[in-house]
Amino acid sequence: MEVPEKIKPDWKFDTRVIHAGQKPDERTGAISQSIVPAVAYAFPDTETAAAIVAGRQEGTYYGRYGNPTTRMLELKIAELENGEDSIGLSSGMAAISSSLLAFLQNGDHLLVTKDVYGGTFSFVTSLAPRFGIQYDFVDCTDPDAVRKHIRDNTKAIYIETPSNPLLTVLDIRMLAGISKERGIPLIVDNTFMTPYLQQPLDLGADLVVHSATKYLNGHGDVLAGFVVGKKEIIQLIRKKIAGDLGQNLNAWESFLILRGMKTMGMRIRTHCDNARQIAEYLSLHPGVEKVYYPGLSSHPQHELAKKQMRGMGGIVSFEIKGGMDAAKAFMNRLSLAIISFSLGDPETLVQHPASMTHFSIPAKDREKFGISDGLIRLSAGLEDPDDLISDLDRALALPLPEKLKKAD
C-alpha cells in the first residue's frame, strides 16, 4: 500500500483524526475502510515477491507481518503522533514488550519509571531477566536520580506520563535531554493521553507506545497496541520481533479502531471534562484522603502538566479513608460506575490497583511506589457528570459496614 500524501498541516485534530491516512477506495468509492482478513497475498512475479519480503518495495506478503486494513490504521496513528511509521500489534503489552526488545538484549540494562502499569512491571521483573536483561526502577521526576542510575550497559529509558495509577507527570523534554546526552533511547507510554493531548515525539522521545484497547478505540471491544517512531526501528519490530513472535493485529480489530478513532477528539474532551468535575468533587469530600489528578492545583506537577499536555485526561485516582476494606466497600456500593480492569471506555470504570491491576507487584514494592491499599483508579466515562457524581456521593455517604466500624 502506498503511503497517502500528507494531510494539510493547518487542519485541527478533529479533522486530522478522520482524514489522516484514509481516503475513499479508488475502485469502489467506499468511504469506510475495507476489512481484508487475508493471510497470503499473490505477486505478479518472483522479483516483486522478493523485493517486498526484503523491504525494498512497499507491500504485504504474509499476515504475521502486515495487513492492508491494519496498514491504513498504522499510517493514521503515525501521522497523528508525528512519527515516521508505526506498527499495530495484538495488545498494549505486545507494544510494550516489542518496544523494549527492539533495544535490549542479553547483558543490557533498562531504566523504568517507578510508578508504572502492573503489566509492564511484571514483564520487566519476570520475563526480561530470562533474556538476561537487568533493570532499575527510578524516580523519573528527579533528573539527578535518573543520571545516577544510568550504567555503561543501559540501553533504554521507559516511562509513562501521566503514570498508572498515580498520575505522576514526567517532564518528557527533560528526560529526552538526558537520554540524548547518553545516547539512550527514550520510550514513552502515551496511552492515558493519546496524540490528542500529548505528542511525546515532538518533545524528544524516540518511541511512543499505546494500548489502543483504551482511548484510541474507545469502545471496550478491541485488544490492540501500537509502537510509533522512526521507520528503521518500526521495521525491525515488524520483521524481527513482533512478526516472528506472532504479535500481529488482525483486520477486524483494526477496522473497529479506525471507526472508533473518528470520534476520538469529542470523546476525549468529554472524558477530560467529566474527570475534572469528579476530581473537584472528590477533593472536597471528607471521606477521601487524597486525590491524584493533574488538573488540580494540588497536584505536584500541575504546572508541568499545563505546559506539556493539552488536557488533563480522563483518569482520576483517589485514596479512600479506611484502607483496603473501606475502598472495596465503597466500590461495591456503586451502581452506575462499573468495577473493571480497563479504562477509556464509554462507561465509567473503577478498579482497586492493589488487588487488581497492580496485584503482581509485591506489597512492599507497592508501598514504595505509593500504591496504597485504599487507592482507587477511576476512568471517567461519557455519562452525564451529574449522574456520576451522584453515584459517587451515594456510595461515599453510606455508613461503613459494621465489621469495618469495629475494625476502626
* 280, part of any domain: yes
Write down which residue in 246, 261, 276 finishes a domain: 261
Quick one: 239 and 316 in the same domain? no
Write down which residue in 244, 261, 278 finishes a domain: 261
The domain that holds 254 is classified in CATH as 3.40.640.10
Per DSSP, the residues of 287-350 read TEEEEE-TTSTTSTTHHHHHHH-SS--SEEEEEETTHHHHHHHHHHH-SSSEE-S--SSSS-EE
Quick one: 231 and 362 in the same domain? no
Contacts of 98 (CB under 8 A, 6+ apart): 87, 89, 227, 237, 241, 242, 245, 247
Encode 162-194 in three state secondary structure.
CCCCCCCCCCHHHHHHHHHHCCCCEEEECCCCH
Q: Are 341 and 223 in contact (CB under 8 A)?
A: no
Cα separation, 104 vs 164, whole angstroms: 23
Q: Are 377 and 353 in contact (CB under 8 A)?
A: yes
pLDDT at 400: 53
* 4, part of any domain: no
Quick one: 210 and 327 in the same domain? no
CA 192 and chain centroid, separation: 5
Q: How many domains does the chain have?
A: 2
pLDDT at 180: 97
Contacts of 111 (CB under 8 A, 6+ apart): 135, 136, 138, 140, 146, 149, 150, 154, 156, 157, 158
Quick one: 294 and 200 in the same domain? no
Domain range holding 305? 264-407
- In the DSSP assignment, the letter for residue 280 is H
pLDDT at 366: 81
Quick one: 275 and 367 in the same domain? yes
pLDDT mean for each 10 residues of the chain (408 residues):
58 93 87 92 95 89 93 96 97 98 98 92 95 97 98 98 96 98 98 98 98 98 98 96 94 97 97 98 96 98 98 97 92 96 96 84 79 93 98 85 48
- With 0-12 / 13-18 / 19 or more C-beta atoms within 10 angstroms meaning exposed / middle / buried, residue 26 is exposed
pLDDT at 406: 45
Sign of the four-CA dihedral 67, 69, 75, 79: negative
pLDDT at 4: 47
Catalytic center residues? 64, 117, 189, 214
pLDDT at 402: 53
